[in-house]
Amino acid sequence: MKSALALVTRILVFVVFLLLSVVMLLPFLVMIFATLREPLDIVKRGAIALPEVWRFTTIRDVFTQYRFGLYLLNTIIVTVPTVAVALAMAILSAFALAVMDFRWKRPVIVLVTVIAVMISEEFIMIPLFQMQRFFGITNTFLAVILPQVAMSAAFATLIIRSFFLGLPREMADAAMEDGASSWQILWKIYVPLSGPPILTAATLTTTWTWNDYIIPLVMLSSTSKATLPLGLVLFRGAHTIDIPLTMAGTLVTALPMLLLFVIFQRNFVQGLTQGVLK
C-alpha cells in the first residue's frame, strides 16, 4: 500500500516536470515554427497554426538579403580572441594564485575572484565609453574585446584556480626538486590535468561574450560593426511586421550557443552551479 502511494507520487512528480519542460521549451518551438511560415499566412491565420506552406528558405534570406552573415562574422571576431586571450591569462593567474606565495596574494585574490566577477556591465558602461576615446579605439572591435577579456579572465581565474587548489601540492614540489621551472610545472603538469575546468570556463565565457548586448551597444556606433544581439535589435526595429524573418534572425543568434550547450552540457552545468556557489 505504502509503496503504491510512493509510486503514484513519483509519477506525479515526473508529470509535473514534464509539463514544466514543455513550458520551458515552448518559446524555442514558437521561434522555430514561426521561421517556417509565410509572413502573410501568419497575419491571416494567426500564430497558432501549422505552416500552410513549409518554408525553409527564410533562414537563408537573413544571410543573403540582410546582414546577418556580417553580424555573425563580427560576433566571431569579438568572441574568439576574447575567450582565447582571457583563458591564457586566467591559466597563468590561476596558477600563481593557487600554487605560489607572495606578499600581495590575498588582496589580488579578493580583487580578481570576488570584486571583479561581481561587477556587471551597467556599472562601468559610462566610463568605458569615455575610455575608448582616450585610447583612440572608438567604434572598434578592440573597444569591445578589452573589457570582455577583463571580465572573462576574472571569471576563468575563479574556476581554474579552485580546480588547481584541489591538485596535490606534492606534485609541484617534487617537480621543483627535479629542477623544473614554474613554467614547465604549469604547462607540463597542471594544464594537462585541467581539461574539464578550462573547458567549463571556455564554454561559459564564450556564451556570455557572444550574447552580450550592453558593451557592444555602448562601444560600436556603426551598424556594419554590429554583433548578433545588436544586429537583431536593429533588424527588429526595421522589420517588426515580418515575423518569420525576425524569428530566423533570432534563431541565427541563439542556435550556435544552443549547440554549444548541447555539446558541452556537463561543463555548463558544472560552471553554472560551481561558479556561483564559490
Partner 1 sequence: MFDVGGALTPYLYVGPTLLFVLLFLIFPLASVVWYSLVSWSGLGKMVFIGLGNFVKLFQDEKFWAAFSTNLVYVLFFSFIPTVFGLLLASLIGRSRILGDRFFRAVLLMPQVIASVAMGVIFGWIFAPGFGVLNSFLRAIGLERLERPWLGDVVLAPIAVGVVGTWLWLGFAVVIFGAGIQKIDEALYDAAKIDGAGSWRQFTAITFPALRAELVVVIVVTLIRAFGSGVFGIVVAITSGGYKTTPLALYAYRLAFVESKMGYGSAVVIFLMALIIILSGVTYAVGERRKG
Smallest distance, partner 1 to C-beta of residue 56, A: 19
CB 120 within 8 A of CB 180: no
Instruction: Assess 1 for contact with partner 1 (CB under 8 A).
Output: no
Instruction: Assess 119 for contact with partner 1 (CB under 8 A).
Output: yes
Distance CA 98, CA 167 (A): 10
* End-to-end CA separation in angstroms for the chain: 44
Total site size for partner 1, rule CB under 8 A: 94
Cell numbers 626538486 correspond to 177
Return the number of the residue (80 or 142) whose C-beta is nearest partner 1. Answer: 142
Return the number of the residue (193 or 263) whose C-beta is nearest partner 1. Answer: 263
Distance CA 252, CA 240 (A): 17
Q: CB under 8 A: which stretch of 53-61, 64-72, 191-199, 224-232 binds partner 1?
A: 224-232
Instruction: Assess 137 for contact with partner 1 (CB under 8 A).
Output: no
Instruction: Assess 257 for contact with partner 1 (CB under 8 A).
Output: yes
203 is written with which cell numbers? 564554454
Return the number of the residue (101 or 170) whose C-beta is nearest partner 1. Answer: 101
Distance CA 219, CA 134 (A): 13
Return the number of the residue (43 or 193) whose C-beta is nearest partner 1. Answer: 43
- Work out which of 8, 19, 40, 47 binds partner 1, going by CB under 8 A: 47
DSSP conformational letter for 263: H
CB 262 within 8 A of CB 272: no
Instruction: Assess 168 for contact with partner 1 (CB under 8 A).
Output: no
CB 129 within 8 A of CB 218: yes
Instruction: Assess 108 for contact with partner 1 (CB under 8 A).
Output: yes
Instruction: Assess 19 for contact with partner 1 (CB under 8 A).
Output: no
192-221: contacts with partner 1 (CB under 8 A): 207, 210-211, 213-214, 217-218
Instruction: Assess 48 for contact with partner 1 (CB under 8 A).
Output: yes
**Helix ranges restricted to H, 100-194:** 105-109, 116-118, 121-134, 141-166, 169-177, 182-184, 191-193
Smallest distance, partner 1 to C-beta of residue 189, A: 15
Return the number of the residue (30 or 193) whose C-beta is nearest partner 1. Answer: 30
Smallest distance, partner 1 to C-beta of residue 133, A: 9
Instruction: Assess 182 for contact with partner 1 (CB under 8 A).
Output: yes
- Work out which of 105, 106, 169, 188 binds partner 1, going by CB under 8 A: 105
Instruction: Assess 149 for contact with partner 1 (CB under 8 A).
Output: yes
Burial of 8 (0-12, 13-18, 19+ CB in 10 A): exposed
Instruction: Assess 130 for contact with partner 1 (CB under 8 A).
Output: yes
- Work out which of 79, 200, 205, 246 binds partner 1, going by CB under 8 A: 246
- Work out which of 144, 202, 220, 243 binds partner 1, going by CB under 8 A: 243
DSSP calls for 39-105: HHHHHHH-SSS--SS----HHHHHHHTSSHHHHHHHHHHHHHHHHHHHHHHHHHHHHHHHH---TTH
